[in-house]
Chain A
């Protein structure tokens, strides 16, 4: 076990760089005075950029740490999504952090530690690594949700997230214990190998797989385990919501795919019915609940629940043909970018009006700032899945995969509920372009230039990916 050649530490370089940056931020905060605020940002930026560079140009790949971590195409795609979100929030979130007086060092170090957990999760080669990754990311996010604990909603969000999240971890751990009891190993490859020779019609394996599935579905907010999401997303600071609804979800989905598709693929009969049922329920509940929301953040939260349902279709397709994994990974990037941009820009717009993240805050936006109105429109159209945005291409691949795998009914349900979703996305666009700002609202002050620039570039990327999907698909398809 102590054989240095089996460590392959170089392949873990991105994780190590991000964790190191997190430690340095803490150290800089402890050593320096309060004027060292800029340092936190520069250290984080340097860590994230170098990690992104070594993710896309890895010095080494393959199994590391005696097989407990695996750096393959799946890990590369997952890491890229996580780091892209982190970069977006670092570049665009400064004005939000300052205006809400969020402690900068704590925010930056916690987000870097959460990213370390997410990256360990997406490159996990062992159930223990999966659990460790989930816990590191969850515990960091519990703290981040509580960064604005002076506010009533903030405390509620943090406590709800903590209680439901740790409850879900219990399910996950018990499921892992049962799977370990049945197969005698926690290594994902070894589990897949041992299932080929064992009888998979066993209560221990089926129970273990289902309990693990419940744990994962909690984390990715799939109905009927989604009830925490709207309250937590609504009560947390917008920048934290932007982080946990995108990067954490992308990481949990990649982890779900890694555990269930290759490792428990032989036992697919046990978990596919439950996954299909949850996908159907999620798409229906998510989209119809979003219809009646009047808070922008809650609307996006339910839309995120609905999108978790679409992504489950990709997992279902991948369980019959692993080539469809690329469609899940493809959609994660546009989904993460859109939501990151919408939460950040939505919070900035709302601050100019009611400050309560209401849908009404978007009324008359086009008159005040046509550029922002265009930005919001592109993002919402991408969420609705309208060409030529990347949202359309992503949904197309997901539904096509579901049809290929024989889940035609689910694909139809997905398309029908997408039609429902167009209503609440378009409502914001209509408010922005065709309604007048409420009387007596304060004069418009231009938003922070960095925020507009980086979110504008993200929206541009959505359009580019919609026309030229191979740019990102070529990375996700190398699994």
Chain B
């Protein structure tokens, strides 16, 4: 818990940061605007084509997209990544949390394990 006073920033110290933001934003805007206003625009079919390493693009973007399997693996990865995030603070304060902490973490891990087993049986990890 912190008090309201903790949220009062020291504004003058932030002014250089604001100047940096303004400079960076202004430079980007100036470059984009300048190119748009001053640059010559000569369009031709080759220029408008999608660039694929010098080869003629073929087919639609839908073909050969990312397979659904990758998403399933990515989701599984996130689940166990988050599990690790929860386990670290528990491991650090293992002694203070005692048996209550141990049981809570066990329930958490078992729940995730059931999910993993379900994935396994549904064939998420069988790559053919």
Given A7-B100, A181-B7: A26 touches B1 (CB 8 Å cut-off): no
Chain B nearest CB, measured from A329 CB (Å): 31
> What is the CA–CA distance of A30 and B118 in the complex, to the nearest angstrom?
5
CB–CB A184/B4 < 8 A:
yes
- CB-CB nearest in chain A for B98: A2
> What is the CA–CA distance of A475 and B96 in the complex, to the nearest angstrom?
41
Given A23-B111, A27-B114: A2 touches B1 (CB 8 Å cut-off): no
A292 on interface, CB distance cutoff 8 Å: no
Lowest 4 A-B CB distances belong to which pairs?
A30-B121, A30-B118, A26-B118, A2-B97
Chain A nearest CB, measured from B7 CB (Å): 6
Partner of A2, one of B96, B115, B117, B118: B96
Range for the number of chain A residues in contact with chain B:
10 to 19
When each residue 1-43 of chain A gets 1 if its CB lies under 8 Å from chain B and 0 otherwise, what string results? 0101001000000000000000100110111000000000000
A200 on interface, CB distance cutoff 8 Å: no
Chain B nearest CB, measured from A82 CB (Å): 21
Partner of A26, one of B7, B97, B100, B115: B115
Chain B nearest CB, measured from A15 CB (Å): 13
Chain A neighbourhood of B114, CB < 8 A: 23, 26-27, 30
When each residue 96-128 of chain B gets 1 if its CB lies under 8 Å from chain A and 0 otherwise, what string results? 111011000000000100110110111000000
Chain B neighbourhood of A184, CB < 8 A: 1-4
When each residue 63-84 of chain A gets 1 if its CB lies under 8 Å from chain B and 0 otherwise, what string results? 0000000000000000000000
Chain B neighbourhood of A7, CB < 8 A: 100
13 inter-chain pairs at a CB distance below 8 angstroms, sorted by A residue, are A2-B98, A2-B100, A4-B100, A7-B100, A23-B111, A27-B114, A29-B118, A30-B120, A31-B121, A181-B7, A182-B4, A184-B2, A184-B3
Chain B neighbourhood of A149, CB < 8 A: none
Given A23-B114, A30-B114: A185 touches B7 (CB 8 Å cut-off): no
Chain A neighbourhood of B98, CB < 8 A: 2
CB–CB B2/A27 < 8 A:
no
> What is the CA–CA distance of A2 and B118 in the complex, to the nearest angstrom?
32
CB–CB B118/A27 < 8 A:
yes
Chain B nearest CB, measured from A66 CB (Å): 11
- CB-CB nearest in chain B for A202: B4
Chain B nearest CB, measured from A160 CB (Å): 20
> What is the CA–CA distance of A317 and B118 in the complex, to the nearest angstrom?
48
- CB-CB nearest in chain B for A3: B100
Q: Which residues of B contact A (CB under 8 A)?
A: 1-4, 7, 96-98, 100-101, 111, 114-115, 117-118, 120-122
Chain B nearest CB, measured from A276 CB (Å): 30
> What is the CA–CA distance of A355 and B74 in the complex, to the nearest angstrom?
38
- CB-CB nearest in chain A for B99: A4
Chain A nearest CB, measured from B122 CB (Å): 8
> What is the CA–CA distance of A4 and B97 in the complex, to the nearest angstrom?
10
Chain B nearest CB, measured from A416 CB (Å): 46
> What is the CA–CA distance of A249 and B118 in the complex, to the nearest angstrom?
30
Chain B neighbourhood of A198, CB < 8 A: 4
When each residue 216-245 of chain A gets 1 if its CB lies under 8 Å from chain B and 0 otherwise, what string results? 000000000000000000000000000000
> What is the CA–CA distance of A39 and B72 in the complex, to the nearest angstrom?
27
> What is the CA–CA distance of A23 and B98 in the complex, to the nearest angstrom?
26
Given A2-B96, A184-B2: A30 touches B101 (CB 8 Å cut-off): no
Chain B nearest CB, measured from A115 CB (Å): 16
- CB-CB nearest in chain A for B117: A30
Chain A nearest CB, measured from B51 CB (Å): 31
> What is the CA–CA distance of A29 and B3 in the complex, to the nearest angstrom?
50
Chain A nearest CB, measured from B97 CB (Å): 5
Chain B nearest CB, measured from A392 CB (Å): 44
> What is the CA–CA distance of A7 and B1 in the complex, to the nearest angstrom?
21
> What is the CA–CA distance of A29 and B118 in the complex, to the nearest angstrom?
8
- CB-CB nearest in chain A for B96: A2
When each residue 168-207 of chain A gets 1 if its CB lies under 8 Å from chain B and 0 otherwise, what string results? 0000000000000110110000000000001000000000
Chain A neighbourhood of B4, CB < 8 A: 182, 184, 198
> What is the CA–CA distance of A7 and B97 in the complex, to the nearest angstrom?
13
> What is the CA–CA distance of A198 and B118 in the complex, to the nearest angstrom?
51
> What is the CA–CA distance of A60 and B104 in the complex, to the nearest angstrom?
20
> What is the CA–CA distance of A29 and B117 in the complex, to the nearest angstrom?
10
CB–CB A185/B100 < 8 A:
no
CB–CB A27/B100 < 8 A:
no
Chain B nearest CB, measured from A40 CB (Å): 13
- A-B contacts besides A27-B117, A184-B3, 14 pairs, CB < 8 Å: A2-B96, A2-B97, A2-B100, A2-B101, A4-B100, A23-B114, A26-B114, A27-B114, A27-B118, A29-B118, A30-B114, A30-B118, A30-B121, A184-B1
Chain A neighbourhood of B111, CB < 8 A: 23
